[in-house]
Amino acid sequence: MNLSFFDQFSSPSLLGIPLILIAMTFPALLLPSPGNRWVTNRLSTLQLWLINLITKQLMTPLNKQGHKWALILTSLMIFLLLINLLGLLPYTFTPTTQLSMNLALAFPLWLATLLTGLRNQPTISLGHLLPEGTPTPLIPALIMIETTSLLIRPLALGVRLTANLTAGHLLIQLISTATVALFSTMPAVSLLTLLVLFLLTLLEVAVAMIQAYVFVLLLSLYLQENI
């Protein structure tokens, strides 16, 4: 029974063909395509308002040089937000519960911010590895510690997103299983568990939105350090 709880995290396949690419590209079909009319419908207006809000929140701490990343960061934010929210629907697959996918998103973008800093301001970027005023005997140890903390950033990004979403999905499945199992023997307790399940689902909706925002926000902070 314990193994069945983790079946929801296995990548779906049809005739041996993995369907994770379809799960990743399907949210894009839900976005309305821009038209040539001056007056658009409510869905397009809501989409533009959300994109402007996300872009403003991400670009406010950055200078003009960092605004070149607006399209990448905003697109990544909307991509993660839609995948995380759609993954809460029944009989769906959440690609962001796969550590390999999250690392594939985190590592190239983190490396791009690091290379940007080394190209534009190499002295300042390398200076982050050694805090000012460090005693001479501690210099080798601090350089190793700061280098390790720098290299572990993409791993922390991927593990944070994976762990939070995986834990939420497991809790929802455990409580829903308990709700169904207790319905025939203890209906009152089953209704109470159903209420807990409803509140947990609301919490997971908030977690899905917050984790998408935190993932992109940390990338923007890494970019801010290097520009």
pLDDT profile of the chain (227 residues), mean per 10: 59 68 73 66 79 86 83 89 86 84 92 88 78 77 85 92 89 87 85 90 92 91 85
Cα–Cα dist 117/124, whole Å? 8
What is the per-residue pLDDT for 9? 65
Q: What is the pLDDT of residues 70-115, one digit of tens each?
A: 889 988 988 899 889 888 888 778 888 888 889 999 999 999 998 9
Please give the structure tokens belonging to residue 146.
Answer: 């700061």
Per residue in 130-158, is it b (16+ CB within 10 Å) or e — as a string?
Answer: eeeeeeeeeeeeeeeeeeeebeebbeebb
Q: Which amino acid is at 191?
A: L
